[in-house]
Chain A
Amino acid sequence: NAGVTQTPKFQVLKTGQSMTLQCAQDMNHEYMSWYRQDPGMGLRLIHYSVGAGITDQGEVPNGYNVSRSTTEDFPLRLLSAAPSQTSVYFCASSYSRGIFPNSYEQYFGPGTRLTVT
């Protein structure tokens, strides 16, 4: 298994440009999520999905869109990049939320380092 993969690893954008960060997992996990990591802030949840066709907002969703057309893929779109979106982005997945969703380990991808100038 490749686990959780993310592309690209690095990206530089100009303010106002759009792009999509790709995330894929081959573990048949229902639950997928996107986090951003900023210095001194830990990780913060952007969006999450509990299955194909179902997404919802996290703590910091503004400026980002997501969709989940398949179980495997969960892309994150920046519609109009801003310098405040300079960050490291992590995708994560876990087993079905089930009855005890809190106990499931989330598996993280290697991250995408995004710089917006």
Chain B
Amino acid sequence: AQSVTQLDSHVSVSEGTPVLLRCNYSSSYSPSLFWYVQHPNKGLQLLLKYTSAATLVKGINGFEAEFKKSETSFHLTKPSAHMSDAAEYFCVVSVRFNQAGTALIFGKGTTLSVSS
């Protein structure tokens, strides 16, 4: 069965310092992986996706993630945090569902706090 584990429920950083949000996945086949961001009282926005092309994926707002098959990880990073990065982040794996559909399996989320 496919699943996603976000290793930290809450991460706190100072503005200008690096961000690391950790995600491990399990999948019986080569997965498609995504990171979504949700700002308070807002919908979900796609940050980046991995679909078996380059293992280092660049997304919006300076975020990137590296797919490491040997470690079954897809950690999200950003070199320098900005106050506007404060939000909840979801690591997501896309799976077949009931042989006909595609479903997104969400991690439980990591809340990123950024202090000045």
Contacts and interface: CB of A to CB of B under 8 A. Distances in A.
Interface of A: 31, 33, 35, 40-45, 48, 50, 54, 56-59, 90, 92, 94, 97, 100-106, 108-111
B98 A103 contact: no
**Per DSSP, are chain B's interface residues mostly helix, strand or loop, or mixed?**
strand
Contact of B51 (A45, A54, A102): A102
A102 B96 contact: yes
A101 B96 contact: yes
B49 A103 contact: yes
Q: Which of B96, B97, B104 has the most CB of A within 10 A?
A: B104
B55 interface: no
A102 B98 contact: no
B108 interface: yes
Interface stretch (B14-22, B38-46, B61-69, B75-83): B38-46
Contact of B43 (A33, A54, A102, A108): A108
A105 to B, nearest CB: 5
Given A31-B101, A100-B51, 17 more contacts: A33-B101, A35-B106, A42-B90, A42-B107, A43-B90, A45-B103, A50-B101, A56-B101, A57-B98, A97-B101, A101-B96, A102-B31, A103-B94, A104-B94, A104-B102, A106-B104, A108-B43
Interface of B: 9, 31-32, 34, 42-46, 49, 51-52, 90, 94-98, 100-104, 106-109
A31 B43 contact: no
Contacts of A59: 103
A104 B96 CA distance: 12
Contacts of B46: 105
A103 B90 contact: no
Given A42-B90, A43-B90, A105 B102 contact: no
24 contacts: A40-B109, A42-B90, A43-B90, A43-B104, A43-B106, A44-B106, A45-B103, A48-B101, A48-B102, A50-B101, A54-B100, A56-B100, A56-B101, A57-B98, A58-B103, A92-B104, A101-B101, A102-B31, A103-B32, A103-B94, A104-B102, A105-B34, A105-B49, A108-B43
